[in-house]
Amino acid sequence: MKYVGIAEELRGRIARGELPPGARVPSTRRLAADHGVAMATAAKALALLSQEGLVRAEPRSGTVVASRERRGGQRGLTRDRIVRTAIDIADAEGLGALSMRGVAARLGVAAMAPYKYVRGKDELVLLMADAAFGERGYPAKPSGDWRERLTLGGRTLWSLFRRHPWLAQLGPITRPLPLRSLATHGEWALSALAELDVDAATLCDLHVLFFGHVQGMAVHLEREQSALASSGLTEDDWMDHQGPAVAAMAAGHPTFAKMLAELTETGYDLVLDDIFESGMRALLDGLALRFGR
C-alpha cells in the first residue's frame, strides 16, 4: 500500500525534527507529484497521520505538524477535554478522521485512557453533537411573530452546521438524535410553528420540513470539505476540469445549454449560504400562503 510508505516517510521527518510542530506538511498535490501516485492515495497518507495525531488541518494554512502536548500523562484528563478535542478533529478533518486512538494521541495520553470517560466512538459522537448543538441558544423571552422566530431558528442552526460541518452527517431526519441541546432548537421552532394553529401531526410534519431544509443544505458542507481533501481540487478547479463533460451533458437539452452559456458569460458562484436563505424565504412564504398568515 503506497500510502503507508508515504506516511512512514513523513513520520520519520517529523520524528527527526525536519518537520517541527506547526510546520506545514507537503500538500496532497505535492505528495502525489513527488511519489507518482493519485491524489486520493496521498490524501490517505495524510489521513493516517491525522488519525495518529501527528498532523492536523489548519483553516487557510493546510495540514501542519501537531504539537504533542504532554500534561503529566492522564492527569487532568476529563470527559469535556476529550469531547472538545474530538470536536476539533472533526471540524478540521471530518468525522471519518475521528477515532478514539487519534483523540488520545492528540491529548498526549495512552490509547486506552479516554475509555475511562467514554465507552467508545458512538458515545463520543453523541457527546460531541450535544456539545455542538448547545453552543448557541435563544432569547429567554421570544419576540416577533412566528416567521421572525422561525427565521432566527433556521439561521441559528445553519450557523452551527457551518461551524461543525460533520453535524449534518450524523443520521437521517427520520431518526432524530436524543440530545437535550437539540431539543432546545426543536422547542424554539415548534413554538413558532404552533402559531399557525395546526394539529399535532401537521405541526410535526412542518417541523420536519423546516429542519430538513437546514440539514439538507448543510450535508453538502462536509462533502465539499471531504472532496477537497481527497482530490486536492477547489470548487473552481473541479468545474474547470469538468467543463467539457458538463457541456457535452447539456447537448440536446436547450434550457440547460442556454443556462450554461449565460453563466459562462456572466460568471457564477454557487454560494450555499445564499441558497439556504433563498430556500428559507420560499419555505416561509409557502407556509404563510397555505395557512393564511
The reply to whether the predicted model has a pTM over 0.75 is no
Residue 205 lies in a domain: yes
How many domains are there within the chain?
3
Choosing from 114, 134, 154, the residue where a domain stops is 134
Choosing from 37, 66, 95, the residue where a domain stops is 66
91 and 226 assigned to the same domain: no
Q: What grid cell was written down for 171?
A: 443520521
pLDDT for position 32? 86
For 258, the 3-state DSSP assignment is: helix
Q: What grid cell was written down for 184?
A: 432546545
From residue 230, alpha-carbon distances to 4, 130, 189 in Å are 16, 28, 37
82 and 61 assigned to the same domain: no
pLDDT for position 61? 63
Residue 139 lies in a domain: no
Output the domain CATH number for residue 200. Answer: 1.10.357.10
Q: How many CA atoms lie within 13 A of 119 on its CB side?
A: 4
Q: Exposed (0-12), middle (13-18) or buried (19+): which is 47, by Cβ within 10 Å?
A: buried
Residue 183 lies in a domain: yes
158 and 273 assigned to the same domain: yes
Residue 33 lies in a domain: yes
279 and 186 assigned to the same domain: yes
244 and 199 assigned to the same domain: yes
Tally of CB atoms within 10 A around 210: 23
Choosing from 66, 101, 119, the residue where a domain stops is 66
Tens-place pLDDT, residues 53-81: 788 877 656 788 887 554 344 557 899 99
Residue 141 lies in a domain: no
pLDDT for position 59? 63
pLDDT for position 62? 76
279 and 156 assigned to the same domain: yes
Q: What grid cell was written down for 74?
A: 492522564
Average pLDDT, the chain: 87
Residue 264 lies in a domain: yes
272 and 180 assigned to the same domain: yes
Tens-place pLDDT, residues 80-110: 999 999 999 999 888 888 999 989 888 888 8
55 and 94 assigned to the same domain: no
pLDDT for position 18? 81
Q: What grid cell was written down for 23?
A: 510546520
Domain span at residue 271? 146-291
Q: What grid cell was written down for 26?
A: 507537503
pLDDT for position 128? 97
Q: Assign residue 77 a region (left: φ > 0; alpha: ψ between -120 and 50; beta: otherwise).
A: beta
Residue 72 lies in a domain: no
pLDDT for position 134? 95
d(CA 286, CA 241): 38
180 and 255 assigned to the same domain: yes
Output the domain CATH number for residue 129. Answer: 1.10.10.60
Q: How many CA atoms lie within 13 A of 166 on its CB side?
A: 20
Residue 140 lies in a domain: no
pLDDT for position 41? 86
151 and 268 assigned to the same domain: yes
What is the pLDDT tens value at each position of the chain, 293 positions in all?
688 889 888 888 887 778 888 788 998 888 988 888 888 888 888 888 887 778 887 765 678 888 755 434 455 789 999 999 999 999 988 888 899 998 988 888 888 999 999 999 999 999 999 999 999 999 988 889 999 999 999 999 999 999 999 999 998 888 888 899 999 999 999 999 999 999 999 999 999 999 999 999 999 988 887 777 667 777 777 777 887 888 888 888 999 889 988 988 888 888 899 999 999 999 999 999 999 86
Write 182-187 long-range contacts (CB < 8 A, 24+). 182/129, 182/130, 182/133, 184/133, 184/134, 184/137, 184/138, 185/133, 185/153, 185/156, 185/157, 186/211
Q: What share of the chain is helix, strand, coil (3-state, %, to 5)?
A: 70, 5, 30
43 and 86 assigned to the same domain: no
57 phi/psi in degrees, rounded to 5: -85, 130
Q: What grid cell was written down for 36?
A: 507518482
176 and 253 assigned to the same domain: yes
